[in-house]
Amino acid sequence: MKVLVATKSVAVLEALRAMKDVELEPALFTDQIAKGIPTADLVIIDFQDIVEYPYEIGVIQSQLAEAQEKRRLPWASSEAFLMAPDKLTQDATRTKGGTELPDKLTIAFTSYSGGVGKTTLALDTALHFARQTERPVMMVEFVHGVSALAALTGMEMPHMFDLTSNTELRPSSFKGVTMVPMDYESCRVLPVEQLAKYLKKQVARHTLTVVDAIQPHGLVKSIEPEVDEWLVVTTPRLDAVGNATKLVAELGAKASIVLNEKRGTADTLALAGTERGLDLPYQDRVTQWEGKLGAAVLQYVYGRAWKRYEKPEGISGALKRLIGR
């Protein structure tokens, strides 16, 4: 991990040098800092220590704000860093500045609106991750009714109530993805604490956990502590956009809007002024799970760390996809 150090604090340098796999790039002049930001995974900066040559501090502040918005580059003052150095470096590894996939990540597709494609996006993302990385990935479902996952996959598999009630029962796998589907009629009597305990253990065993959660849902509280990023899905429908904006405000800093089924200029104009993290174009044949939308989601979530996994599929990869691994 590359850390840009724009501070005179000796304590910061000593703390970073004691960490493994950390590359330091000291920089105090504004031109050095400006050159270092695009390739940094974390920035420690004290603006009072900066030498304003040849740029003013405002230029650096703008560059940091842009990098944080585009790829979630974490940065902090030396004081803030020294209060929680391990947390900040871990966050840097997980966010879009890092170049390696984190050991554990949980993303949740959610919405107030139905028919926006969150289940399809979630499953396409999980399947594409499994296909490209061959690392353990799990999908967890929160619905009001019968399981959409069971309907989409056509599989008979143990549901959440069975899995949490019988510790010897193993979840089913669909094309490399561990499946934890929900049948609400049986699950609605589950204590949140019992479900949270089960899900925490399962999340720890998977590199990526993908959650498909309708809102509001009483049992979603069981997974909330594990969620690193909420992806609030909407389509260009004005009611869906309004609901998504409201839900993002309620979920807070971990949430961003994902616009699904964007068709053209008219949709762009209709969404003018709506802040969103990712736009996904309308796609035919999504339910064939080719990963076109999943790839875009994973690129957004992992940033530079995902690039190495988006390589040409080749004949063997295509065969794996067609025969279900």
Average pLDDT over residues 157-182: 94
Q: Tell me the pLDDT band of 197, cut-offs 50, 70 and 90.
A: very high
162-166 contacts, C-beta under 8 A, 24 or more apart = 162/186, 163/198, 164/190, 164/194, 164/195, 164/198
Tell me, what's the pLDDT at 66?
83
* H-helix segments, the chain: 10-17, 30-36, 57-71, 78-83, 85-94, 118-133, 148-153, 160-165, 184-187, 192-204, 238-251, 265-270, 292-302, 314-323
pLDDT at 315: 47
Average pLDDT for residues 39-58, to the nearest whole number? 93
Average pLDDT over residues 248-263: 87
Q: Which of 77-86, 172-181, 204-213, 216-225 has the lowest mean pLDDT?
A: 77-86
Q: How much is the average pLDDT of 283-291?
A: 82
pLDDT tops 60 at residue 285: yes
Does residue 73 surpass a pLDDT of 90?
A: no
Q: What does the domain layout of the chain look like in residue ranges? A: 2-94, 105-323
- Determine which of 21-35, 93-107, 186-200, 305-319 has the lowest per-residue pLDDT on average: 305-319
Asked whether the beta carbons of 28 and 35 are under 8 A apart, the reply is no
How confident is the model at residue 71, as a pLDDT?
67
The mean pLDDT value for 31-38 works out to 93
Looking at residue 314, what is its pLDDT? Answer: 47
Q: What is the pLDDT of residue 178?
A: 97
One CATH from 3.90.950.20, 3.40.50.300, 3.30.2320.20, 3.40.190.10 for 105-323 = 3.40.50.300
Going by their DSSP bridges, the two strands 229-234 and 23-26 should be labelled as: unpaired
> Any idea which of 42-56, 253-267, 308-322 has the lowest mean pLDDT?
308-322
Residue 70 vs residues 27, 63, 131, 247, 290: alpha-carbon distances, Å: 22, 11, 27, 21, 26
pTM of the entire structure? 0.71
pLDDT exceeds 60 at position 320:
no
Model pLDDT for residues 263-276, shown as the tens digit of each residue = 877 666 667 777 88
Work out the average pLDDT over 59-71. Answer: 83
Report whether pLDDT(101) > 80: yes
Q: Which of 141-155, 157-171, 199-213, 310-324 has the lowest mean pLDDT?
A: 310-324
Q: State which of 134-143, 183-192, 243-252, 269-278 shows the largest mean pLDDT.
A: 134-143
Q: Which of 84-98, 208-222, 299-313 has the highest mean pLDDT?
A: 208-222
Radius of gyration of the chain (CA): 21
Rounded mean pLDDT of the chain? 88
